[in-house]
Amino acid sequence: MPNLRTCASTMPNRHTYQDLARTVLPKLVEALTTPLTEKEKAGRTIPREERPRIAFTGTYEECLEFLNNEFVPFGTGVPQARYTTGTSVVLPTPELVEKMLAGTSHSPDEVIGRVLPTGLEFTVEKVAINAVMAGCKPEHLPVVLAFSKILATEGHCLGQGGPPTLFPLVSGPISKEIGMDSINYAGAGNPANNSIGHAITLMLVNLGSVISGGGAASILATARLTASAEEYDSPWTLLSEDVGFRRDQSAVAFIGQAGGGGFVGVTPPAYRIDGEMEWLKMLARVISGSFEARPTIIMNPSIARDLATRQGMTKEDVKQWLYDNCFITKQQYMQMPTRPRPVPKEIEALADDAKIRVIGNSCHYRGTGTEDTPDNICIVVVGGEEQFGGTAGFTQRSPYRNWIESVDVWR
């Protein structure tokens, strides 16, 4: 339906939804009730956009102008970049793309995947082109290719429920090889972190067909990303080891907030005074209050080290402790908008102050057959030594499932 009527709106929140309803609903009614025009009745097949392989002829300035050209997404009225993130890029000349491809043994025309629902194809060469534009080096390419594999095969799931905040994470020795760090996981400063994150964002724009600021045609709408490395000298196992890789092997993962919202900071001043267990207690309260069934904890290295050395806790011990201490009452459960309807009989029979375990499947009840184990918790150690007490990030879809890919297979 190439002439489908559209009605654009910003995302409502509890402060703006009434004003948005008064503005948007009349437009919806008009669009739904106005008789179709002859053009709208006709219909036709929308041809798939054919994108040039290497799209550069002319002077340097003309090429940059082409890359940075703008268009107006439907209904927004605001110009947006078409092929970039709106910031400067490197021109992907054939010579630079060829140098980039030296970073992998895979054939340039190898198909990595076809993203839904646009059907746009990820190939090794297309990924290399975006890596050049982002300022990556050839040694970064295996990492970018690993991320592209997740985007090409699981991208339509990453943004389920709305645009999430994505956190690209590199786990294993490759991070040290290419000079990544875990310190600036939420900011700028490291060239490898930034260029790899920029390459992921460019792939979303050029291969995932994201429309910046106007909604996503496929994967998700997102701001420019920064990748980060998991702390390799962590006292615990790495995320890559948790899913079956050896310590000398590397992997990448996407940690995200399905449905939006991003990471929730848990930084009590009491950490420096009363210790790491006070931080864990506050973290448990935050997880319980958010009713997050599969939380991903982004833990500061100093907290992880204190838990390991002063409390003698392994990563599995921390997961078990959180599993045993994250509860809500039946009264809180009944107030959850996402709880099952009708309420399970087992919960209906409980007293209002009875405790229901949070960790497990969202809005579940023990005994209903729903998986309910400490392994629903994901913990990664990232950050600088002197950063604020630590951060917890939550997601209801654990990266343990499909959002992890080997780096070494792309070397």
Every domain of the chain and the residues it spans: 1-46, 56-257, 264-394
What is the C-alpha to C-alpha distance for residues 276 and 298, in angstroms, rounded to an integer? 14
Cα separation, 164 vs 215, in Å, equals: 12
Predicted model pTM: 0.76
Q: Which residue(s) pair with 251 in the sheet?
A: 171, 406
What does the pLDDT read at residue 163? 42
Angle CA 377–381–385, to nearest 5: 145
Residues 163 and 211 sit within 8 Å (Cβ to Cβ)? no
Do residues 237 and 315 make contact, with C-beta atoms less than 8 angstroms apart? Answer: yes
How confident is the model over 70-110, as pLDDT tens digits? 766 655 566 667 777 667 789 998 999 999 999 999 999 99
Between strands 251-256 and 404-406, the pairing is antiparallel
> Would residue 34 be called left, alpha or beta, if left means φ above 0 and alpha means ψ between -120 and 50 degrees?
beta
For position 156, what pLDDT does the model report? Answer: 64
pLDDT, tens only, 132-189? 999 999 999 999 999 999 888 877 666 544 444 678 899 999 999 998 988 755 555 6
Model pLDDT, residue 316: 95
Q: Enumerate residue ranges in the chain where pLDDT < 70.
A: 1-2, 13-14, 46-56, 71-80, 85-86, 116-118, 156-165, 184-189, 209-224, 256-274, 291, 338, 340, 360-372, 384-402
